[in-house]
């Protein structure tokens, strides 16, 4: 499997965030997207996830079954955790598993892996920032998608949780997955670098 961008450009309002951007990442490969604030790291992930329009160029994922759009084969974890405060972690994951399809781990097993078994039945509004972040990563485990798009994945995580996340990423890569992560910090797994520093 190969994810690629060819001469990709994106405009937000009147500003071209990046243009003529070309890269690729293959099965089992992580790509760390780096650069100063405002360089377009988060924007690039949102474009790949199908949340922002492309101005020009294209994004592709080869091979894809039944001409499925690349965005539908991506997990996206952004700055916002996309959690409903009144739902429990177990309910959140059950919802995401149903919505995303291609079920993988049961919600309770995913919660155990990210260390949230004790909070499975609590309203998510009671969780700390780090716990909410771990719950967002548990979404990656309940539905199979080959590409993980992670925006500042270590944000709000303590050292133990960063190690746990590194283990999840290493396992995904070992199974042939692809990871693109916008980050200012080392990912904890071997990664090539895509530097957006000179792109606006």
Q: What is the DSSP letter of 147?
A: E
Q: Taking Cα atoms as reference points, which of 150, 145, 143 lies closest to residue 166?
A: 150
Which residues partner with 77 through β-bridges? 150
Q: How far apart (Å, rounded) are the C-alpha atoms in residues 8 and 122?
A: 43
135-159: average pLDDT:
95
**Rounded (5°) CA angle 109-115-121:** 70
- The per-residue DSSP string of 43-94 comes to HHHHHHTTSS--SEEEEEEES-GGG--GGGGEEEE-SS----TTS-HHHHHH
Q: How would you label 179-193 residue by residue, b for 16+ Cβ within 10 Å and e otherwise? A: bbbbbeeebbbebee
Res 193: pLDDT: 95
pLDDT digits (tens, 9 = 90+) for 12-53: 888 889 999 999 999 999 999 999 988 899 999 999 999 999
User: Are 193 and 35 a contacting pair, CB within 8 Å?
Assistant: no
Position 195 scores a pLDDT of 94
C-beta neighbour count of 176 within 10 angstroms: 12
Domains and CATH numbers, the chain: 2-195 (3.40.50.300)
Q: Tell me, what's the pLDDT at 64?
A: 78
Q: Which region among 58-72, 115-129, 166-180 has the lowest average model confidence (pLDDT)?
A: 58-72
- The model carries a pTM of 0.94
The pLDDT mean for the chain works out to 93
Token pair recorded at residue 178: 């692809």
Express each pLDDT in 57-103 by its tens digit.
Answer: 999 999 877 778 899 999 999 988 889 999 999 999 999 999 999 99
Residue 40, class by beta-carbon neighbours within 10 Å (0-12 exposed, 13-18 middle, 19+ buried)?
Answer: buried
């Amino acid at each position: 499997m190969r994810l690629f961008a060819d001469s990709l450009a994106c405009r937000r309002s009147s500003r071209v965030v990046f243009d003529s951007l070309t890269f690729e990442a293959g099965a089992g490969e992580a790509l760390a997207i780096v650069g100063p604030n405002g360089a377009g790291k988060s924007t690039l992930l949102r474009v790949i996830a199908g949340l922002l329009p492309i101005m020009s160029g294209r994004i592709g994922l080869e091979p894809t079954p039944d001409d499925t759009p690349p965005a539908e084969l991506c997990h996206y974890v952004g700055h916002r955790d996309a959690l409903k405060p009144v739902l429990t972690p177990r309910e959140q994951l059950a919802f995401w598993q149903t919505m995303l399809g291609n079920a993988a781990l049961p919600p309770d097993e995913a919660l155990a892996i990210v260390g949230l078994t004790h909070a499975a039945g609590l309203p998510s509004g009671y969780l700390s920032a780090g716990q909410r972040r771990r719950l967002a990563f548990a979404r990656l485990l309940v539905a199979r998608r080959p590409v993980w798009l992670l925006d500042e994945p270590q944000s709000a995580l303590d050292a133990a949780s960063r190690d746990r996340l590194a283990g999840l990423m290493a396992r995904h890569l070992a199974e042939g997955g692809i990871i693109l992560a916008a980050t200012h910090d080392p990912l904890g797994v071997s990664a090539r670098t895509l530097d957006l520093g000179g792109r606006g």
